[in-house]
Amino acid sequence: MLKSLIYLLLFVIGIGATISSSLWGGVTVILAYLLNPHLVAREIPLQRYQFYATAAFVLSTMMYPASRLRSVGVDKWVFTFLWFYVADCCVVSLLLSRDPLWAIDHAIEFGKTILVAWLLTKIVHSERDIRILLIACVIGGFHAAFMHTVGIDLDWVSEKYKAEYGVLPEAQAPTNLLLLPLFVLIAMLGSTRYEKLLGWMGLPIVLNSIVESYQRAYFVGLLAESVFLLLFLPKRIAIRLIPVLAVAIVLYVSVLTPENYWSWMDTINEPTKEGSAASRYDLYKASGEMLADHPLGVGYRSFILESKKYYGASKAAHSTICTVACETGVQGFCLWLGAVLTTFWILRRIRKAADPSNPHQLEVYAMGIEIGLIGWLVGGLFHSDHQTDPAYWFLAFAVVLHRLRFAPPEIELDPNAPDAAGSTFG
C-alpha cells in the first residue's frame, strides 16, 4: 500500500506542477504514460492517470505563453502532415469503416496523441526545457524497463504483463527501441555526470526489457540501431562508442538472454519454416488485396474487422506500413509518411551541421532521436507500431531541436511570466 501511496503522491505533485508551469505539465504527461501508475499502484482505484494529466496539461498551455521559437524551413510541415492525417483518419473512419463508431473512437484517441505532441512544441522556450523533457523520457523509460523485468519478479507488477506486451499502455518494445540510443548517447556524452550515470544505469535494464519481449522484430531493430550509431556518429565518437557496444553485446549475449532466446532468434534465417513468421507473407498479400479493393482506406483500427475476408481470420496486419495504408488509404499513408520523412530530413540537417570533434548537446539528442526512430520503423516492418505515443513525441522534439539549432531565441523567456504573446491557443 505504501508503494501505491507514493505513486499517488507523485501524481498529485505532478498535477500541481502542471498548473504552475506548462513545461512541468509536459513532464507530467510523459511520466503518466511511461510510469503507467495504475499497474503499479494497484491498491488505488484511480485508473485514468493519463487522461487527467493530459487534461491538466492542455489547460496549462492555455494559461501560459506559447514558445517564441520560429519555424525554420520545412519543420512546420511535420505537424501540417500529421493534422491532415488525423483529419483523414476521422473522415475515412466515419464514411468507410465497417464499424464507424469503433473506428472514429480510436481515431479521436489518436488525435489526442497528436495534440499532446503538438503542444510539446509549444512549451519549449530554451535548451533547458527540451533537456528536461528528454530526461523525463529517459527516466520514464528506465522505470518502465525496470518494472517489466525486476518489478514483475518482485511482484510489484502482475506477471500477465511479462514478455511481449509490457507495462505501458501500448506494446513496450517499440518504446524501448526509441529510447535506447538516448541511453547510449547520454551515457557517453551527457552534459552532467548525473545524466551519464542515468544512461549507464538504464542501458542494461532497457536491453533486458527488449530481451524479455521475446520479439524477433525488435532484435532486428536493435541490430539496425547499432549499425546506425556507428554510421551516423562522428568518427571520433564512433570509435569511443565501440567499447560501449562491446559491453552491451557481452551483456546481451552472456548475461541477459535465456537459453532458448537464440534458438528463437535463429528462426529469422528461415522465416518460411516458422508459423508466425511465415504468416507474415500471407498477411502482406492480404494487405495488398485489401488496399486494392479499398484504396481510400477501411477506417482507423479497422484492418482487423476486414481481415477475415482477405486472410480467413480476424488478424492485425503486423506491419506499420500495411496498417497505415490499408486503414487510412493511399492518401493517409502519404500524409503519415510525409511527416516521418520530413522529421528525418530536419534531423539529418542537425546532424550534418554538428562539429564532428565536439557536437553540441542538442545535436547529441537529435542523433539519439534519429536513430531511435530508425529502430522503431525497422521493428514496425513486422509489427503495427504506428500508435506508439513516444514516437510522435520524438517527432515534436525533432521540430523543437531544429528550431533551437537554427533559430535560437535571443532571450530565454520565463514561461510563467505574463506575456503579450498570449497562450498556446492565442
pLDDT tens per residue, range 220-250 = 888 899 889 888 887 777 777 777 777 777 7
Give the separation between CA 104 and CA 95, rounded to whole angstroms. Answer: 10
What confidence tens digit (pLDDT) does each residue in 78-96 have? 999 999 999 999 999 999 9
pLDDT at position 75 over 50: yes
Between CA 272 and CA 279 the distance in angstroms is: 8
Greater confidence (272 vs 4) lies with 4
Task: State yes or no: pLDDT of 266 exceeds 70.
Answer: no
**Which of 327, 328, 282 is CA-nearest to residue 305?**
327
Mean pLDDT of the chain: 86
Domain ranges of the chain: 1-64, 71-406
CA–CA separation, 398 and 411 (whole Å) = 21
Residue 257 in this model has a pLDDT that exceeds 90? no
pTM: 0.90
Segment 259-271 shows an average pLDDT of 60
> Exposed, middle or buried by CB within 10 Å (0-12, 13-18, 19+), for 131?
middle
Contact 299, 98 (CB under 8 A): yes
Which residues lie below 8 Å from residue 249, measured CB to CB, with a gap of 6+? none
Cα separation of 358 and 168, whole Å?
Answer: 36
d(CA 379, CA 268) in angstroms, rounded, equals 13
Task: Give the C-alpha separation, 209 to 141, whole Å.
Answer: 10
Lowest mean pLDDT among 20-29, 91-100, 190-199, 416-425: 416-425
pLDDT at 264: 54
